[in-house]
């Protein structure tokens, strides 16, 4: 990585297809309150999980080139398991001056404390993530994978009333009740339905996500490269999306995260 010395006051750019990455953003702000953040919800290209690897690569690089030109971030966070699985290497090559951090399903932490875990994710993550491939090949009896083809879209769409997803979730997940002792939320959107998932499996089943891992990685990279911001106490947060009409969804999701303990 070729870091420029004067970049510490530049923002951290956080990208996802929709509201999911806001859960990563919230965690980042908690740990790095004095940084400036730009969040971009790429609703126009959502859901990422339905795109092929090469389509997604094209979409993500085009979007990041545009955002990089405008905001010149010191770090780009792919707050999306699907985008990370398909494009992280290309993003690193394209933006050598930035700290690039992706999001991966927390399967390893889950397997450290659970006997058998259920991994939920998009088609893109299940097909393209090297980590998922590695774990399912090396420990096939300890991981069950379940693609949730529509869940991220449903969460984006029903963000103001997530309870409507309860019965559909129960329908797809109740077959695993009693068979696993851990569930990995392998998509940043799914944190919005963490309570519903927990209700289905009961309190004995632990629920995992990769958000803290992302935050710790951003924090340690910034410190290592002396790019963490020290001239402010409270940074700024910009929430952006492709279509003006979607701003309401984005802000509704952000308000939910401010109020609850998702």
Please list, residue by residue across 247-260, b when 16 or more beta carbons sit within 10 angstroms of its beta carbon and e when fewer do: eebbeebbebbeee
**Per rule CB under 6 A, is residue 49 in the interface with ligand DGL?**
yes
DSSP states of 128-184 as a string?
H-HHHHHHHHHSTTTEEEEE-TTHHHHHHHTGGGGGGGHHHHHHHHGGGTTT-SEEE
Contact call for residue 48 and ligand DGL (CB under 6 A) = yes
Single residue of 17, 75, 128, 154 touching ligand DGL by CB under 6 A: 17
Q: Tell which residue, 121, 154, 120, 123, has the closest CA to residue 50.
A: 123
**Element spanning 69, H or E:** helix 53-71
Task: Among 59, 67, 76, 80, indicate the residue that binds ligand DGL (CB under 6 A).
Answer: 80
Cis, peptide link before residue 47, omega less than 30° from 0: yes
Q: Is 73 in the site for ligand DGL (CB under 6 A)?
A: no
Q: Closer to ligand DGL by CB, 17 or 75: give it.
A: 17
Single out the residue of 87, 188, 211, 215 in contact with ligand DGL (rule: CB under 6 A).
188
Which token pair is 2?
């070729």
User: Using CB under 6 A, which residues numbered 168 to 187 contact ligand DGL?
Assistant: 187
Question: Which residue, 10 or 125, is less far from ligand DGL as judged by CB?
Answer: 125
**Number of residues in contact with ligand DGL, rule: CB under 6 A?**
16
125 touches ligand DGL by CB under 6 A: yes
- 229 belongs to the binding site for ligand DGL (CB under 6 A): no
Going across the sheet that includes 37-41, the strands are 99-101, 75-78, 12-16, 37-41, 237-241
Quick one: which segment of 45-53, 200-208, 211-219, 245-253 binds ligand DGL (CB under 6 A)?
45-53
Q: Binding residues for ligand DGL, per CB under 6 A? A: 16-17, 20, 46-49, 80-82, 122, 125, 152, 187-189
């Amino acid at each position: 990585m070729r870091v420029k010395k004067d970049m510490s006051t530049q923002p951290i750019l956080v990208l996802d297809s929709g509201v999911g990455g806001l859960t990563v953003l919230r965690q980042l702000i908690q740990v790095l309150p004095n940084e400036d953040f730009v969040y971009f919800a790429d609703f126009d290209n959502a859901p990422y999980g339905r795109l092929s690897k090469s389509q997604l690569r094209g979409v993500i690089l085009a979007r990041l080139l545009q955002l990089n030109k405008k905001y010149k971030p010191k770090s780009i966070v792919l707050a999306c398991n699907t985008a990370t699985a398909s494009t992280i290497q290309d993003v690193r090559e394209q933006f050598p001056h930035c700290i690039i951090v992706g999001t991966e399903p927390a399967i390893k932490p889950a397997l450290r404390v659970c006997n058998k875990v259920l991994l939920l994710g998009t088609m893109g993550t299940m097909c393209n993530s090297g980590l998922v491939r590695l774990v399912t090949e090396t420990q096939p009896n300890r991981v069950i994978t379940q693609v949730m083809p529509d869940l991220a879209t449903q969460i984006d769409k029903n963000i103001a009333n997530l309870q409507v997803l309860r019965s559909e979730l129960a329908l797809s997940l109740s077959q695993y009740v009693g068979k696993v002792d851990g569930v990995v939320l392998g998509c940043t959107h799914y944190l919005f339905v963490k309570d519903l998932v927990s209700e289905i499996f009961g309190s004995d089943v632990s629920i995992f996500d990769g958000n803290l891992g992302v935050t710790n990685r951003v924090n340690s990279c910034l410190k290592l490269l002396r790019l963490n911001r020290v001239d402010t106490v409270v940074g700024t947060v910009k929430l952006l999306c492709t279509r003006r009409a979607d701003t309401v969804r984005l802000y509704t999701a952000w308000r939910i995260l401010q109020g609850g303990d998702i």
